[in-house]
Amino acid sequence: MSTLHRSITGSPLERHRTVRGQDFYPPAEVLARIPGLYGTEPVPTGDKTIWLHYFAGPCAWWVAEYDPASGDAFSYSCLGDPDNAEWGYTNLADLEALHSPGGITPGQPAGTVRLLPRLLVERDLDWPPRTVTAARLPAGLSTPDQQEALT
């Protein structure tokens, strides 16, 4: 995570805390419990623990690993199409920074308007850590059986 993603105290920067109405990052003691990157590599997919869940509209990220120094996370991501959901890396500071207030703007042709959706990634405050199997993630390669089918 660059210094641009850190506050003066060294904690992750939250640019949109007021708009979001809640903390983007969980408390430090929760972050400290999440395995570092590659920390769950030997763990079968169904047994990996999903520690955090973030969402924005039809998009969702389920975090299994996290590196506090870089802000990178290994997560299962669904960007609106469950058939294309997959495991990969994302940066939580980049997700936190995503924001569009939405609203109505002038459109083309003249005299028309465009309705822009609000975009803000939020943390699921009611998410208890649970295994991939218990989380019942959408399609993609979320379960061991689906991954084994490819090998």
The model's pLDDT over 20-46, given as tens digits with 9 standing for 90+, comes to: 788 889 998 999 999 999 999 999 999
Total-model pTM: 0.78
DSSP the chain: --GGGB-TTSSBP-TTHHHHTS-SSPPHHHHHHSPPTTTTTTS-GGG-EE-EEEEETTEEEEEEEE-TTT-EEEEEEEES-GGG-EEEEEEHHHHHH-EE--EEEE-SSTT-EEEEPPEE-EE-TT---EEHHHHT--STT-SHHHHHTT-
Q: Provide the residue ranges of all domains of the chain, joining segments of one domain with +.
A: 3-130
* pLDDT tens by residue, 74-105: 999 999 888 889 999 999 999 998 877 777 87
